[in-house]
A and B are shown apart, each in its own frame.
Chain A
Amino acid sequence: TQLLEQSPQFLSIQEGENLTVYCNSSSVFSSLQWYRQEPGEGPVLLVTVVTGGEVKKLKRLTFQFGDARKDSSLHITAAQPGDTGLYLCAGAWEYGNKLVFGAGTILRVKS
């Protein structure tokens, strides 16, 4: 049983489409992070959200932390082939402490 449930597990879309990936839990987290991982490499941090309701934008990527700090979403506008990868959410119960990861969403953007 995953403490953090990510959906969908797999997403294949055409270049230019929009998409949203969800990360849900019954637990309250002090912060939540999103990582992107490419094949054969380790995950790379995209963003950290710490305040309920917080929205952060990173170019075409928009991240939102739920008001109750139990869920988060990642929205990509006008997806590009370079966005292809595994997207992982990770929650922390205490600042600076251990992370709990979701199973990930595999995104494939076709040109």
Chain B
Amino acid sequence: NAGVTQTPKFRILKIGQSMTLQCAQDMNHNYMYWYRQDPGMGLKLIYYSVGAGITDKGEVPNGYNVSRSTTEDFPLRLELAAPSQTSVYFCASSYITSGRTDTQYFGPGTRLTVL
């Protein structure tokens, strides 16, 4: 199993440009998440999905959009990039059953710079 994969690893965007961060998992996990990590701030949840076709906002959703058409893929879309979106983005997945908090498996991250 490859686990959670993310592409690209690095990207530089100009203000106002758009891009999609790709995330895929091959573990048949039902839950998938997008986080951003800024220095000294830990990880903040952007969006999450409990299954194909179902998404919901996290703590910092403004400026981002997601979709989940398959179990495996969970892309994150930035429509109008702003310098405040400079960050490291992590995708994660987990298999959640009722009554327990399970392990979240993280991808290697995408380092995005908006200039």
Contacts and interface: CB of A to CB of B under 8 A. Distances in A.
Interface residues of A, number: 28
Contacts of A96: 31, 94, 96-102
B42 interface: yes
Interface in A24-77: 30-31, 33, 40-45, 48, 50
Contacts of B4: 42
Contacts of A6: 42
B41 interface: yes
A48 B108 contact: no
A98 B108 contact: no
B108 A41 contact: yes
A92 B44 CA distance: 13
A104 B108 contact: no
Contacts of B45: 98-100
Interface string B67-111: 000000000000000000000001010101111111110111100
B43 interface: yes
Nearest to A6: B42
Residues of B contacting A: mostly: loop
A45 B104 contact: yes
Given A40-B109, A41-B109, A96-B98, A88 B103 contact: no
A43 B109 CA distance: 10
Contact of B58 (A42, A88, A98): A98
27 contacts: A2-B41, A4-B42, A9-B40, A40-B108, A41-B108, A41-B109, A42-B4, A42-B90, A42-B106, A42-B108, A43-B43, A44-B106, A50-B100, A90-B43, A92-B101, A95-B98, A95-B99, A96-B100, A96-B101, A97-B101, A100-B45, A100-B59, A101-B42, A101-B44, A102-B42, A103-B41, A103-B42
Q: Which 10 A-B pairs have the closest CB atoms?
A: A42-B106, A96-B96, A101-B42, A31-B101, A101-B43, A103-B42, A45-B103, A92-B101, A42-B90, A43-B106
Interface of A: 2, 4, 6, 9, 30-31, 33, 40-45, 48, 50, 88, 90, 92, 95-104
